Structure formats: structure tokens, C-alpha cells
Amino acid sequence: MIETKDITLTSFQWPAGYYNDGIEMGIGQSDKLDFGYLVSEVPASAAGTYTTNKFQAAPTKLTKNMINQDHQLQAMVVNSAIANSCTGEQGEDNALTEQQLLSEKLGIDAHLVGVASTGLIGAQLPMDKVIAGIKQLSPHHEDNVTKAVLTTDKHSKQACVQLEMSGKTVTITGFAKGSGMIHPKMATMLGFVTTDAAIDGKLLQATLSENVDTTFNQITVDGDTSTNDMVVVMANGMAGAPKLTSKEDADFSSFQAGLHLVLQELAKQIAADGEGATKLVECNVNGAFSDLEGQEVAKAIVGSNLVKSAIFGQDPNWGRIISTVGMTNAHVDIAHVDIEINGIKMVQDSLALPFDEQMASDSMGANKVVIDVNLHVGSATGQAWGCDLTYNYVKINASYHT
């Protein structure tokens, strides 16, 4: 795991050289911010990770192609309510139109503009509203763009850290949306990270991909991977710190730790805000054969509908946890598995221990439930986050379209 103990979260603020806007264009049916942009004053190094769903949405494909050209971006245009996914050539043309119109508005090359959409699959964007919206966007330094990407989310997800790099204060700030269709294989939400650090684009890509695997890819709400979403990082270098070009650079470890903490915090906020959820579930696996196997077991546990339902009902039924462990492909010593819930040890060497069931049940009423599992087959670890499964999840998704 990335060591982040010397870096702590701070109050939300944009790094040097970024501005944004979020407005209400009536793209969806509710009265909320639904359209916006995020802009760097100068071209920025850029990296991204993208959904592995075969039906990748038009804006996702476009942004991926732009970043892969030379790992640079300067602006993102975003909307909620409509995903522009499974929309054919018209959807692709609409994404290109958004890109071109924003590039003209900002006076920058079109290849420096990315596009992101989220919402209902299969519907075309109302381009009259999109065109009018791009004209209305103006530079602000509040956080409206973080709200303009929300769908069924109860609130925006934000995270910020500051750290010293060669005597300069560097800020890394991220925001995300995501509440349902959360089971990243990368990624099943929208996530945007801005920083005024200077870093080579290919190094930024490698760093993002590595850290996504242990943050966003380790959350699950409902096991469904969306068609749209992505995580994009922009680094404009305006803090004035020397440019990072190698993992051996003196400041690289600090930068990576800061980025990891922002990604992890956003991931946890998404898990906690799962559709209908009442609590965050964290699973820590120790004694795994490898880190990949530790991650597999942790994510399987927080993703089990039986485990999620038990947590909603405050039922300390550890049998659902151990059976999930046994369903994975990980190495397991079936005679030596230990399980705790909220620090209450329930299983040792795969056998039940006496514990106060009422106390355990009461502890599961907290906003966060922590499951610890020791596999005793190695020294590797894994961590994942999810949420409980409630009646309200079914209610929200039974009427999402109508």
C-alpha cells in the first residue's frame, strides 16, 4: 500500500491556474446544475483511465483518444442527466461538436478539450441546450462543476491535499460523481483530479493507472460496470516546483502519496453514497498470498449481496463472509481464517468464537462497518470499500428511467 501518513486532507481549494463553472441547462427533468466545464489556464499534462464496458460511450472514447495522443489537456466539458452512450454516429458527432465549440470559446486547440457525460443510456443530447450552455459558461473559482456532474448522488465528492515539493506548495484537488452502477474495472463513475504540480504526461499516466487499481477499482456498490465513465488527471505545473520526469525523482514519492490519498478519499465517498446506502463498509484483508489476491478477497466481501444485506440488517452473520472468501480464486488455508467485525473477533482458525451478538449488532448500526479478515497464507494485504444493500436501492433503480 502507498504510505500516506505524512499527508493529510485539507479543505477544498483549486490548485493554481484552474477555473470552472456549473450551470442549470434543463438537460434532465430535475432542477439542478447539469452542465459545466473545468479549465486550466495553460495546457496541462494529462492521464486517464476508462471503463472496460464494451459499450463505451462517445465522450469516453473521444477523451481517451485525445489524452492518448500526447497526454495533454486543457479543458473538460461535462454534463449529467444524459450519458450519450449507445447513441451511434449522432452521439459521436455531438461529442465532437461539444469539443469544437468549447475549443473555439477558449481559443485553444480542439485536441486539448475532453468531454464527459453521465446519466441515462440511449438518449441523445439536446444539442440546442448544450450549445446555449457552452455560450453561458464563464470563469469562476467556486465548486459548481463538482455539482454539475451529479445524478442520483446525494452530494458532491471532493478531496484536497497540499504538500511541499522542492520548497513549493503543491495542491492536488479532486472531485467525483458516482452512486449506482459502481463496480469499476476502470472506471464506473466520473472522477477529475487537478494539480499544479509539473509531471511528465507518460509518468502521470503510469502513476494514475497504478493508484486507480488500489482505490477506485476497489469499490463496489452493485456489481454493475457503466458504459461511460473515467478518471482524468490534469497537471499544469503552475506551482513552480521542478517537473517530475522519473519515479526516482526526490519529490515523486510525495506526489504519488498525495494523489493516492485524493483518489482513495473520493473512492470511499462514492462507496458511502451508494444508491440507498446507509453506511460505508470497509474490508481489510491480511495474510494474503499476494496483494492482488488480497484485493480480490476484499472486493468480493464488500460486493457480496448477502454480506451487504446482513450489514443493512445489523446481523453479525460471519458465515456470509467466510463463504464469500471461499468463492474467490485466492489461496486460502481453510483451517486458519480469522474474521472480525468492528474489532469484535468472531472466527479464529475457521471456527466460531463466543461473542456478544447484541454488542456486535449494535456496533453495525454505525455509519461505517469494518470487516477484518486474515487468510494466514502470506504477508500481502488488500482493501476495498462498499456499502449496505437497502430497500431504497431497489426503489431508486426500479424507477430510474420513468
Q: Tell me the binding residues for substrate.
A: 151, 177, 188, 275, 397, 402
User: Cα 225 to the chain's mean position, in Å?
Assistant: 12
- Sheet (strand 344-348) strand order: 351-352, 344-348, 338-341, 368-374, 280-288, 380-387
C-alpha cell at 41: 489556464
Give the count of beta carbons closer than 10 Å to the beta carbon of residue 30: 11
Q: Strands, E, within 134-235: which ranges?
A: 157-165, 168-177, 190-195, 230-235
188 counts as catalytic: yes
Cβ atoms 242, 251 nearer than 8 A: yes
8 A C-beta contact, residue 193 and residue 173: yes
Catalytic residue, chosen from 146, 152, 188, 220, is 188
Q: Are strands 344-348 and 338-341 parallel, antiparallel or unpaired?
A: antiparallel
C-alpha cell at 394: 431497489
Find out whether 194 and 40 touch, Cβ atoms under 8 Å. Answer: yes
Amino acid at 212: V
**137-140 long-range CB contacts below 8 Å, 24 or more apart?**
137/21, 137/23, 137/35, 137/36, 137/37, 137/105, 138/21, 139/19, 139/20, 139/21, 139/39, 140/19, 140/20, 140/21
The three cell numbers of residue 46 are 494529462
Residue with cell 473559482: 141
- Is residue 216 within 8 A of residue 184, CB to CB? The reply is yes
Binding-site entries: 151, 177, 188, 275, 397, 402
Q: Beta strand pairing status for 368-374 and 280-288?
A: parallel
Asked, as a colleague might, if the bond just before 186 is cis with ω within 30 of 0, I would say yes
Provide the annotated active-site residues: 188
